[in-house]
Chain A
Amino acid sequence: MTDNALIEKVDVKGAIAALKEKFPEAVKDDSRQGYSGIIVDRKQLVEVARAIKDDFGFDYLSSATAVDYHGIADEMEMVYHAYRISGGPALVFKAQTPRNNAEIPSLIDVWPGADFQEREAWDLYGIKFPGHPSLKRILLWEGFNGHPMRKDWKEAYYEEDHKPFGSRWPGGWIRRAEELNVYGKNVSYPADFDLSKLSDRSEETLYNDLGLGVTVQEMGGSSSLKTDRLVVNMGPHHPSTHGVFRMIVTINGETIETLEPVMGYLHRNHEKIGERNTFLHNMPFTDRLDYLSSMGNNVGYALAVEQLLSQNARFQKPNYRAEVIRVLMSELTRIVNHYWAIGFLLNDLGAFFTPALYAIAEREKILDLFEATAGSRMMCNYMRFGGVAKDLPERLRSVAVKANDMVRDYNTMDYLTELINERIPRSIDELDNYLSESEIIKERTVGVGYLSPEMAVAYSTAGPLLRASGVPYDVRRADPYSIYPELDFDVAVRYNGDIYDRYLIRLDEMRESVRILKQILPRLEKTRNENPVPPKQHTPRVPLGESYGRVENPKGELGYYVVSAGDEKGPQNPWRYHVRAPSFINLTALGPMSVGHKVADVVAILGSIDIVLGETDR
């Protein structure tokens, strides 16, 4: 969004050189092996960040995350990935702090999108961010013991630092983890635990901040109309929150004054588990992030690790067929996801289940393909480092084993051709015909939940949410990966930034996906004889260093920040495994978008962001 054309011409290297010139004391190169970018002195972090954003045009903060280097160095660091909204590679900058009394100035004034990510770093790492207006725990509850992502924090079921655990083989007599724990349940308490002081602080803190209680406001001078200011809780099991998401809204009359998202109800400790896993172990765990688009998650993680592996001379990049299959799966996933998003947006608008039924009927056909190819309907676990797990099967065939089993047997290419050329376009048109012109939907959605392009970028939103606000930012074009550069498609953009446009842009994107898939089909035929499966290797030697792999997932930009600290002989586990989840960061914009609307609209606004809680809470 910068208007200085000259600055746009400066590439990342030029920007770093200029920054070093401007802040000679604060900025230095990150010279560790395998690392890139700059290390900024935390005292001057805000000024440097301002320069990065305003002077050099890196206006989109993609990811901000913490890393604990306990055992390597006695410090923690925040890693920021800033991009230009016009495209191009990232400027990576870091700020370091000692582990005791960790403090790094907040960048929320520079990039408001850092809000949730800094709260997460506080919650999980215990880094304080002076300048952050409400630095509260975000995924765990207030009163939780410790900051769990620190390397020296151990949970109740802690076994070993790295998988594979020694207790599994060769003397693996099974013991369930809950039987090992002293309390018999999944519990851990601080050493100085005092039972008499036990209380549930989490709810109090939540409500106290909002000023619980009813305040009566007088409307206007002479009018006798009085309204109550009320705090209303929605969730976490509310059916329209798309899972276990919770919102606490303060309403004045019926109008929303503030909206506080509360999450963490599905915080499954992906990152803590991921740092214990080997690199390959994480692949099926990525399926369970955005569980509607597991294929896309797989691709993102494979890209991040392949970036690291490519330093290794022996590593072979995925061949052309593997890339074709990856794109095929990613785009089918996008279609699946958008069917779901549209269906359930309509659910939230009150058209209970009928549009959703029509939308997800076609999804089943795609899932049949996934099941026959990867082995599971949802948790595909299909990508491997350097390719895919298995080639597409010759025939999508099932085998009758049980009584009453009904067999299906289709030729894969015929199935795909029929699906891509006939069924999916037909059902997209049907959805369009069914919903787009409906006056009820228009009444409910046009002009509701407006997000301006400036705010969309500032809040680091991604995906359809960003593009519906008129910002044509798509990782497939802005920072291309795989074979997207040779494919012919347009980045779908809409300009009104309301719910209706977010609905329409999903239809547009599905049509673009179909366009891509039609180009994929001949490529699949052409590469029939190539083998997309890499040699089997369960513990690849991952060289030292960091990488940030990102893909345009259906919900937005999905990024994996992976740090490998292992050498050739050491344990092969990621030192840091961070997921930049689009759903999580898109939610930053939920509060500002909802203010001034009614409670019923909030449900629709949330539906239009299209979150999935597995990814939001991780």
Chain B
Amino acid sequence: MAQLDLRELNATEFPIPAEMQGNVAITSLSKVYNWSRRSSMWPMLFGLACCAIEMIATAAARYDLSRFGMEVMRASPRQSDLMIVSGTVTKKMVVPIVRLYNQMPEPKYVLAMGACASGGGPFKEGYNVVSGIDMFIPVDVYVPGCPPTPQALLYGLIALQKKIDGQSLANLDDVPWYGVGPSEPTPIPILGPDIIDPRQMDLIRRQAQLAAEGKPHTVREIPAPMKVAQVQQVPAKTQPAASAGDDPAKAERLAKREAALASKKEAEGGTAQAVAEAPAPAAAPDAQPKKKFDKQAMLDKIRERKGN
């Protein structure tokens, strides 16, 4: 997979003066850098659950990870480049995982293997299960499946290699480890009465305050299932207008959602309007989107900070 195309190598982002062309081959440093990095990805030798067995099967004779330069599974995070989160992340286990992630030297990549590591998987509803490792550490590639077959994992690893290939040394977003100063470690969650993410302290404090004031402390309350009509009457115009300004990712998501809503309305014809004015779900459309909205923005901000 690792053929280096020499013609591409010469096509750099810098203009080459005419007299230089033909005399000097200016290679793009990024290309060499990326090629060497992605061809010697050393995963960390640790497995969490069922997916770990498929990960080992991938490393074994039949699928042979060493064809990708990844067979050197290091037991120490200090020597590894890639963390394959292979299995269900429990609240108890996320603490060591974040610690291990912090111990990995940069550049470091994370691959979430399987449904559990990506988003909680079948055990998501459980009281001790984290719904996705990306809640705590940034993930580069998600491999769905329960468990992904070795070939699916290999596909994910190739996708990761492609991602690395696309990174540019000139772009500090791609290579933040060349920024000024040491990078911030990811805060390690605390095992309190439940898992506590230090990045959410403000939010938790506010909720605790609310609880102290006797206001509804709705930790475990879940709003009644949204009716079809309720979704439709969310004013499609106001939402994106208010939010698109602060966060492009959010805007993109909202735009998508708006499109979906529009298409639905189209399908529904004129009835949507009529249903929207129905009195049934009182107050909910006003209160709920706003509240939810706050939280979303907050989360996005957190994610943004985490991303950096």
Q: A residues near B, CB below 8 A?
A: 139-141, 143-145, 148, 154-159, 166-167, 171, 173, 175-195, 198-202, 236-239, 243-244, 264-269, 272-273, 276, 284-285, 288, 291-292, 356-357, 360-361, 364, 377-379, 613-614
Contact = CB atoms under 8 A, between A and B. Distances in A.
Given A171-B228, A175-B226, A187 B208 contact: no
Contact of B123 (A185, A268, A360): A268
Nearest to A269: B126
Given A195-B208, A360-B57, 6 more contacts: A183-B200, A200-B192, A239-B75, A361-B60, A378-B54, A613-B49
Contacts of A237: 46, 96-97, 100
Q: Is the interface of A mostly helix, strand, loop or mixed?
A: loop
Given A143-B193, A198-B190, A244-B48, A186 B92 contact: no
Contacts of A173: 226, 228, 231
Given A185-B135, A199-B192, A267 B128 contact: yes
Contact of B90 (A181, A200, A267): A267
A262 to B, nearest CB: 9
Contacts of B194: 144-145, 156, 187-189
B217 A378 contact: no
Nearest to A268: B123
Contact of B93 (A179, A192, A199, A265): A265
B305 interface: no
A329 to B, nearest CB: 18
B211 interface: yes
A611 to B, nearest CB: 13
6 contacts: A144-B193, A144-B194, A175-B226, A177-B124, A186-B135, A199-B192
A155 B127 contact: yes
Interface residues of B, number: 71
Contacts of B90: 264-268
Interface string B54-66: 1011001110000
Contact of A269 (B52, B56, B127): B127
B211 A191 contact: yes
Given A175-B226, A291-B53, A379-B50, A187 B205 contact: no
Interface string B193-211: 1111100100111011001
Nearest to B229: A171
A360 B60 contact: yes
A586 B284 CA distance: 53
A265 B61 CA distance: 29
Contacts of A194: 208
A383 B65 CA distance: 33
Contacts of A285: 122
B126 A155 contact: yes
Residue picked from B90, B92, B120, B203, most chain A C-beta under 10 Å: B92
Given A171-B227, A285-B122, A291-B53, A190 B220 contact: no
B149 interface: yes
A560 to B, nearest CB: 18
Interface in B207-224: 207-208, 211, 217-220, 222-223
Given A171-B226, A237-B100, A239-B75, A268 B126 contact: yes
Contacts of B54: 377-378
Contacts of B156: none
Interface stretch (B27-35, B157-165, B168-176, B291-299): B291-299
Given A171-B225, A377-B54, A198 B75 contact: no
A357 B60 contact: yes
A273 B122 CA distance: 9
Contacts of B211: 191-193
B125 interface: yes
Given A239-B75, A361-B61, A187 B147 contact: no
Nearest to B87: A266
A156 B92 contact: no
A139 B128 CA distance: 10
Nearest to A363: B57
A177 B131 contact: yes
A186 B295 contact: no
A155 B125 contact: yes
B49 to A, nearest CB: 6
Interface string B225-239: 111100100000000
A265 B90 CA distance: 6
B129 A269 contact: yes
Contacts of B299: 184
A193 B208 contact: yes
B128 A268 contact: yes
Interface string B91-132: 111001100100000000000000000011011111111111
A291 B87 CA distance: 12
B191 interface: yes
Contacts of A364: 57, 60, 62
A158, A166, A198, A244: residue with the most chain B Cβ atoms closer than 10 Å: A244
B205 A195 contact: yes
Contacts of B129: 186, 268-269
A282 to B, nearest CB: 11
